[in-house]
Amino acid sequence: MILDAHVVGPLQVNSFIVGCEATKEALVIDPGEEGERILARLAALGLQLKMIINTHGHFDHIGANRLLMDSARGVEFLIHSADAELLPKAKEHGRKYGLDVRVSPSPTQLLQGGETITVGTLKIQVIATPGHTPGGISLLIDDHLFSGDTLFADSVGRTDLPGGDHDTLVASIRKGLFVLPDATIVHPGHGPDTTIGREKRLNPYVGIGA
């Protein structure tokens, strides 16, 4: 697996290029902004973009969807069905932060959680992790978990925005993510990487002592 991480946009979103070494096909997770930079990295790595997946529909995670979809024919775009309705509202939500957000295209496939998606030889397991948003998802590829704004190093996603629910978020993490092996590497939507084992022990919101 080829993994290339970028911090993009004014809200410092972690965006990830994940490529198949065998086929050179790639997906991009949460292209929040700076689409030209993401495309330049794809080209430098010799990868062909096949798919975009948004872990949720908040404006800071979707800003480069359109540019990436327009960059090549046949690029697929996936998001959970419960968050698809957030996409047309991105421009309005961005204005509240003084930001101009490009509206995303409509998804080519709606997710529910539980799917296994393939890009090249990569198998991407979709885990429904609502709470930050109703349609939040996490993506497991081998021993790498892309947790969006569900689980962070030493923290969890905020639940005070419309559609958020703290109890649901905690249940998503404990029942959906903490069942993974402790060595699983967690790549969150903001901030540094961590591991499942570390968060189980030390996270003050959902860890063993919380």
pLDDT, mean of residues 135-157: 98
Overall domain count for the chain? 1
Q: Could you tell me if residue 81 is inside a domain?
A: yes
Which residues, in sequence order, are bridge partners of residue 78? 53, 109
Q: Could you tell me if residue 208 is inside a domain?
A: no
Mean pLDDT of the chain: 95
Give 163-189 pLDDT, tens digit per residue.
999 999 999 999 999 999 999 999 999
Residue 115 has pLDDT above 90, yes or no: yes
Residue of higher predicted confidence among 51 and 89: 51
Between the CA of residue 176 and those of 13, 57, 96, 127, 196, what are the distances in Å?
Answer: 23, 20, 32, 7, 11
Residue of higher predicted confidence among 160 and 91: 160
**CATH code, domain with 195:** 3.60.15.10
pLDDT, mean of residues 26-51: 97
Q: What confidence score (pLDDT) does residue 102 get?
A: 84
Between the CA of residue 110 and those of 65, 66, 76, 82, 147, what are the distances in Å?
Answer: 15, 17, 11, 9, 18
Residue 101 has pLDDT above 90, yes or no: no
Give 68-96 pLDDT, tens digit per residue.
999 989 999 999 999 999 999 888 888 88
Residue 207 has pLDDT above 90, yes or no: no
Residues spanned by the domain of 68 = 2-202
Percent of the chain with pLDDT over 70: 100
Residue 143 has pLDDT above 80, yes or no: yes
Q: Could you tell me if residue 64 is inside a domain?
A: yes
Q: What confidence score (pLDDT) does residue 68 get?
A: 97
pLDDT, mean of residues 141-145: 97
Q: What confidence score (pLDDT) does residue 103 get?
A: 86
Distance of CA 2 to the CA centre of its chain: 17
CB 206 within 8 A of CB 199: yes
Q: What confidence score (pLDDT) does residue 12 get?
A: 95
Q: Could you tell me if residue 209 is inside a domain?
A: no
